[in-house]
Amino acid sequence: MHCSAGRPAYAVSLEALISRQISREPISMATRIVRGVIILGACLYLLCVGAVENNLALAQDETPLDFNNILQMLDSSEKEYSYLGTKFVIDYTPSRRSTTLVKVTYGAPGWQKKEVSPLQPGESPQIILDDGKFLWHYIPSQGSVIKKKQRLSLGRISKRIHSQSKRIQQNYDISIEQYPHTSSTVASRIPSVTGDVVVSFQPKAKDRPSWKIWIESEHGLIVRTEIYDVQGNLALLSAFSELTFQPKISKKSFVMTVPKGTKIHKTTETYYRTIGEAQKAIGFAISRPQYMPPGFELASVIRIPTKRGEKVQLAYIDGMSSISVFEEKRAETLGHSQKSTKEVEIKQSVKGNFHDHGLLKILRWQLEQEFYVTLVGEVADSELLKIAASITR
């Protein structure tokens, strides 16, 4: 028996039966009604069969995405699109609740300008210009522009995911959802540009934040980011509310105009791969932490000249979250610079000043005479104290 258009044999036989019935001599009205019902039922059946076959074909074409697909999607090396966007950043930390509006101008091959406007009264807008090599940060309240090198490992989230892919897969459980229609319960009340791929990063160690990103897959752009604290509460939301691709952008869009008299400060940071390599250039002995939460590895060592001398930063990363140890030798003593500061005991006879900045925790203390340590991390308070207690001279 011949079958056409992928229909099953019994469907074709049913059509033939209907055709033969119609070709016969006219009979009673009741019989005609019955035949009409049969024909209608057969047509509905054939429509259903076709719909099921089409759905099965679509399902076979939609291959689930894996993390390698996500890396390819976020790889901007061969993409030359530009865009104009407006995003908002909401800090949900009770003690620091704030909303910031950011206007973004992005032009290939990687130039980006951000106009950052906090919505809190008394705070002036700032401008951040990224030319692919340096960050130029205009801070009106200080009357200065700070120029510093771009840090890939701790830079934009898309570049971080791409450059830290191995660490991320080691330290996080990754789940990928395609064509989502809703976001989280809290964040769904905030209107934003819709992404068609959602990637969730759940830390295998429950002492650090979890992440969720929405990607507009056609351009490989992250349009929404949600970060949750160790208790599972939404702590930070960053999302585009408006986005226009391929607008006309002139070179003037990436010119930073500042008032006359604004000073430019260049941070001449020097990067090293290992502590041993950096130690040769540092005028004091570097104290390496004896404890670090599982998964965190040393990414780089940075020497930072200061007005008081020099400072060294040990930058650790687990792929998504970061921990930095700043060590500095100076004569000044620590002070309680903020109302949110509280004194904590690091170990016997050693106390420090603790600052809770929501996702970011800061701990400062004097390790010995004229030697100070500042610990900055996206981990639980208890982990921060363990790291601090493991740093000795």
Per-residue pLDDT tens digits for 226-276? 999 999 999 999 999 999 999 999 888 998 989 999 999 888 889 999 999
| pLDDT tens by residue, 41-79 | 655 555 555 555 555 444 444 688 999 999 999 987 667
> In this predicted structure, what is the pLDDT of residue 26?
52
Q: CA nearest 285: which of 342, 245, 329, 230?
A: 329
Which residues lie across from 131 on neighbouring strands? Answer: none
Low-confidence ranges of the chain (pLDDT < 70): 1-62, 77-78, 151-155, 180-191, 332-340
Residue 92 has what pLDDT? Answer: 93
Output the pLDDT for position 40.
59
- For the four alpha carbons of 6, 10, 16 and 18, in that order, the dihedral sign comes to negative
User: How much is the CA Rg of the chain, to the nearest whole Å?
Assistant: 30
As given in the structure block, the two tokens for residue 128 are 């951040």
DSSP 141-189: GGTEEEEEE--STTS-HHHHHHHTHHHHHHHEEEEEEES-----TTGGG
Give pLDDT, residue 27.
Answer: 54
Predicted confidence at residue 42, as pLDDT, reads 56
Residue 204 is predicted with a pLDDT of: 97
Residue whose tokens read 């952008």: 249
Assess contact for 387 and 289: CB atoms under 8 A. yes
CA–CA distance, 329 with 310 (Å, rounded to integer): 7
CA dihedral (97, 120, 193, 219) positive or negative: negative
- pLDDT at position 45, please? 58
Question: What letter would DSSP give residue 283?
Answer: S
| Beta carbons of 319 and 58 less than 8 angstroms apart | no
State pTM to two decimals. Answer: 0.79
pLDDT at res. 152: 47
pLDDT at position 216, please?
A: 93
Rounded distance between C-alpha atoms, residue 369 and residue 326, angstroms:
16
What's the one-letter identity of residue 34? V
